[in-house]
């Protein structure tokens, strides 16, 4: 029964990883930008939430109503300025620029927010749980995060496949130049895609901040790494693969922890390595977005 519990906990944790990975996957799928500042941006969202809550006294769990639109706007502006300028100079430049952005964010946060750990206080919700049988205990927060991840990915999938803007995003992802020749301002479409990606990053950052403590360097130390692993395991640019990848990573970590607490991270990395060797294209083979 403890193994079943480990798998259930892994699925829950996978929801958080999938939420992290979603924005990374979208940015790569549409713009071919590998955003090395992804994890740091999630942490910034958590810090912004701390500020927003202090100023507006909005309940912590509702802070996303303000933080997500703020972050989406930041995403659009950042894409239209810095990231577009990097893209114009080649895909490799975006790696350098987002790496630089990551360094700037981490040091900026340490300078202005100190290196102390923070958390988003959600009171008793952080520990409330319910039990199934005698062995399986599910925390409400974990369940909510998993549900949010599934809803976000489902919603994004529906948006991309059925809306006009989603169609334009897929067209630009397929062939940027042909999109221009069809009358599409691809820079604007990139901006819209970045806004959506940053919105999901903000959600992931908030979920992380409620789930555990965060500090200025945790974005690169943990968030970026797990998001990357989820995306690679699932298959680059595929949203369903991202969900599956996140959940597989979560399950691997929890099952590893079942052997020994120190094996949690190791088990996740091993799965990542095995997938890289045996199936480098990821578990989903479809190349197109959505």
Partner 1 sequence: MTQTSESAARKDRPLLEVRDLSVHHGQLQALRSVSLRLPAGATHAMIGANGAGKSTLLRTIAGLHQPTSGTILLDGQDVTRLAPERRVEAGVVLVPEGRRLFPSLTLEENLLVGGTSARPGPWNLGRIYDLFDWMADRRGQRAAQLSGGEQQAVAIGRALAANPRVLLLDELSLGLAPVVVRRIYGLLPQLADSGMTILLVEQDVSQALAVASEVHCLLEGRVTLEGPPGTLTPDQIESAYFGVAASPNGQGSRQDPPGAETRRPGAGQIPGASE
Residue 183 in the binding site for partner 1 (CB under 8 A): yes
Residue 38 in the binding site for partner 1 (CB under 8 A): no
Residue 89 in the binding site for partner 1 (CB under 8 A): no
Residue from 170, 195, 205, 208 in contact with partner 1 (CB under 8 A): 170
Closer residue to partner 1 (CB): 88 or 185: 185
Closer residue to partner 1 (CB): 81 or 182: 182
Closer residue to partner 1 (CB): 182 or 213: 182
β strands within the chain, DSSP E: 129-132, 136-139
Residue 193 in the binding site for partner 1 (CB under 8 A): no
Question: DSSP character for 163?
Answer: S
Distance CA 116, CA 126 (A): 20
Closer residue to partner 1 (CB): 133 or 183: 183
Residue 4 C-beta: closest distance to partner 1, Å: 39
Distance CA 250, CA 192 (A): 30
227-246 residues in contact with partner 1 (CB under 8 A) are none
Residue 81 C-beta: closest distance to partner 1, Å: 17
# binding residues, partner 1 (CB under 8 A): 21
Residue from 92, 174, 276, 285 in contact with partner 1 (CB under 8 A): 174
What's the angle, vertex CA 141, arms to CA 139 and CA 143, rounded to 5? 70
Q: Which residues contact 78 (CB under 8 A, 6 or more apart)?
A: 194, 198
Comparing C-alpha atoms, which of 27, 26, 25, 19 is closest to residue 45?
A: 19
Comparing C-alpha atoms, which of 59, 24, 40, 174 is closest to residue 104?
A: 40
DSSP of 58-109, one letter per residue?
--GGGTHHHHHHHHHHHHHHHIIIIIHHHHHT-HHHHHHHHHHHHHHHHHHH
91-150 residues in contact with partner 1 (CB under 8 A) are none
Distance CA 152, CA 218 (A): 24
Residue 175 in the binding site for partner 1 (CB under 8 A): yes
Q: Are 233 and 272 in contact (CB under 8 A)?
A: yes
Residue from 70, 144, 184, 283 in contact with partner 1 (CB under 8 A): 184
Binding range to partner 1, per CB under 8 A, among 84-92, 134-142, 173-181, 276-284: 173-181
Q: Which residues bind partner 1 (CB under 8 A)?
A: 164, 167-168, 170-171, 173-175, 177-186, 287-289
């Amino acid at each position: 029964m403890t193994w079943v519990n480990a798998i259930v906990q892994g699925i829950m944790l996978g929801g958080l990883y999938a939420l992290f990975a979603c924005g990374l996957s979208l940015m790569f799928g549409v713009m071919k930008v590998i955003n090395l500042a992804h994890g740091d941006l999630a942490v910034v969202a958590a810090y912004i939430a701390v500020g927003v809550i202090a100023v507006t006294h909005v309940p912590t769990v509702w802070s996303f109503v303000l933080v997500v639109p703020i972050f989406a706007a930041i995403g659009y502006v950042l894409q239209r300025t810095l990231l577009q300028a990097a893209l114009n100079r080649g895909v490799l430049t975006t790696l350098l620029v987002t790496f630089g952005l990551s360094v700037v964010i981490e040091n900026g946060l340490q300078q202005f927010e100190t290196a102390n750990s923070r958390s988003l206080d959600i009171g008793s919700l952080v520990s409330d749980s319910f039990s199934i049988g005698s062995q399986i205990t599910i925390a409400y927060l974990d369940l909510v995060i998993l549900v949010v991840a599934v809803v976000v990915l489902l919603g994004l999938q529906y948006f991309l496949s059925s809306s006009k803007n989603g169609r334009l995003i897929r067209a630009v992802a397929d062939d940027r130049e042909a999109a221009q020749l069809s009358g599409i301002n691809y820079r604007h479409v990139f901006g819209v895609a970045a806004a959506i990606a940053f919105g999901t990053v903000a959600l992931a950052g908030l979920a992380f901040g409620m789930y555990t403590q965060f500090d200025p360097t945790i974005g690169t130390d943990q968030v970026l790494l797990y998001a990357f692993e989820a995306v690679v395991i699932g298959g680059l640019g595929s949203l369903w693969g991202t969900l599956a990848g996140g959940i597989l990573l979560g399950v691997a970590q929890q099952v590893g922890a079942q052997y020994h607490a120190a094996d949690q991270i190791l088990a996740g990395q091993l799965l990542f390595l095995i997938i890289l060797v045996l199936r480098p294209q990821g578990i989903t083979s479809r190349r197109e977005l959505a």
